[in-house]
Amino acid sequence: MNSTAIAIPPKQSGSRLLGLPRETLLSWYEDMLLVRRFEEKCAQLYGMGMIMGFCHLYNGQEAVSTGAIKGAINPDDYVITAYRDHGQAISKGVNPKAILAELLGKYTGTTKGKGGSMHIFDRATNFLGGHAIVGGHIPIAAGVAFAIKYRGEKKVCLCFLGDGATNIGAFHEGLNLAGLWKLPVIYIIENNKYGMGTAVERASAVEDLYKKAYAYNMRSEVVNGMDVLDVYQKVKAAADHARATYEPTLLEIETYRFRGHSMSDPVSGHYRTKEEVERLKQSDPIIHLAETLKEEGMISDQYLDEAEERIKQIVQECVEFAENSPEPPIDELWKDVYIERSGE
C-alpha cells in the first residue's frame, strides 16, 4: 500500500472562522480536548484492567463529532453511531461521568453497566446508541428519520459509520430506502482510511466513498475531518437541507485514527507504518484549531493552559465518580429483557 497517497486536505487560513462567536469556538475546542483526554484516560484504565472487552478510541477524529454534533445540529436532533462512540456521546451532551462509569461496568453508567464501551445509549440527549455489529445501525437511522418525517417534525438524524461499513449490505439497503423515501438522515462516513487492518482501496471497489451516494440519488460531499469548521459548515448545510426538504445527504469526512483499531490492536503493523501515523498526526485537529484561534487573536497560551487544566479536572471527576460508583445489583441481570406492562 502506498501510504503517501493518504493526505488530509491542507488546513484553511484563519479567516475562515465564519464569523462564529468566540465563546462557540472555545466550547468546540474544549469539547475536542475533553474527548481526547477522556480517551487517553480510557487507554490508561484499560491497561490497568478496569475497562474490559472491546474499547475503540476516537483519537484523531475529534473534529468530526464536535463539528457535526456540538456544532451543526440542535440538542433535540438524533445521533446514532457504531462502537467507536465515546466522542460522539460526549459531543451530544451525554454526561461523561456516566460514560466512564459505563466503561467500568458500574450501575451509574449510561446503561447500568449492561452495554459497555460499544453500546453507549442516552435517551435524555437523543443519543440512540453505539452499535457493535458493523452496519447494523445504518437502516435504524433511516427508521429514526422515517419517524421524524411521519410525525411532521423538522429534526434530523446524524448517522456515523466507518469507511469499512460502506461495504456491508445494510449500508446499501439503508441508503436506498433513505434516498427512495426522502428521509431526513445525514450519513456521515468517517473515512479514517482503514477498517481494522484493511485499507479502503483493499475493501471497496469505489475508493471515493462519497460516490456511493450516486446509486441512491442522494446528495454527497467530501469534508475535511481535521478541520472542525469544515465539518460544522457542511453538516449544517446538510441538516438545513434535510429540515427544509426531508432529503438525506451522504458526507464522506476524511479523518484518521491515531490509535489502533481497538485497545487490543497495535497502532501500526502489517497494515500501516509508524511513519504514516506520525505524518498524519501532524494534522491533529485539536492543535489545528488552537493554532487557528491563536492566529486570529482569539486565545492566548494562557487560555490553552487553563483549558487543559479545566479538562483534566473534568476527566479526574469522571474517574472518581466511576470508581466510587456501585456495581449493578445481581437482580439487574433479569431486568430490561421484556417490558412487563405493554400498550399503556
Ligand X SMILES: Cc1ncc(C[n+]2csc(CCOP(=O)(O)OP(=O)(O)O)c2C)c(N)n1
Output the smallest distance, CB 204 to Mg ion, in A: 11
∠ at Cα 27 (25, 30), nearest 5°? 110
Nearer CB in complex with ligand X: 25/134: 134
Of the residues 192, 220, 255, 292, which one makes contact with Mg ion according to CB under 5 A: 192
Nearer CB in complex with Mg ion: 195/225: 195
Distance of CA 271 to the CA centre of its chain: 23
Order of all β-strands in the sheet with 127-130: 127-130, 78-81, 157-162, 185-191, 249-254, 219-224
| 171, containing H or E segment | helix 169-181
233-272 positions binding other proteins, by CB under 8 A: 269-271
Could you tell which of ligand X, Mg ion, other proteins, none binds residue 84, using a CB distance below 5 to 8 A set by kind?
ligand X
Q: Is 47 in the site for other proteins (CB under 8 A)?
A: no
| 223, containing H or E segment | strand 219-224
How many Cβ atoms from other residues are within 10 Å of residue 328's Cβ? 18
Ranges of beta strands (E only) in 46-107 are 78-81
Could you tell which of ligand X, Mg ion, other proteins, none binds residue 271, using a CB distance below 5 to 8 A set by kind?
other proteins
Number of residues counted as binding other proteins (CB under 8 A): 43
Asked whether the beta carbons of 38 and 315 are under 8 A apart, the reply is yes
How far apart (Å, rounded) are the C-alpha atoms in residues 125 and 315? Answer: 20
208-237 positions binding other proteins, by CB under 8 A: none
Q: Is 337 in the site for other proteins (CB under 8 A)?
A: yes
Nearer CB in complex with Mg ion: 2/302: 2
Output the smallest distance, CB 141 to other proteins, in A: 17
Output the smallest distance, CB 261 to Mg ion, in A: 8
Of the residues 130, 195, 225, 248, which one makes contact with ligand X according to CB under 6 A: 195
C-alpha cell at 260: 489502533
Distances (CA, A) of 118 to 4, 107, 144, 251: 32, 16, 20, 23
Of the residues 208, 240, 275, 332, which one makes contact with other proteins according to CB under 8 A: 332
Nearer CB in complex with other proteins: 21/269: 269
Tell me whether strands 194-195 and 198-199 are parallel, antiparallel or unpaired: antiparallel
Q: Which residues of the shown chain bind other proteins in the complex (CB under 8 A)? A: 52-54, 102, 105-106, 111-119, 132-136, 164-165, 167-170, 195-198, 202-204, 269-271, 327-328, 330, 332-334, 337
Q: Site residues (CB under 6 A) for ligand X?
A: 84, 132-134, 162-165, 190, 192, 194-196, 261
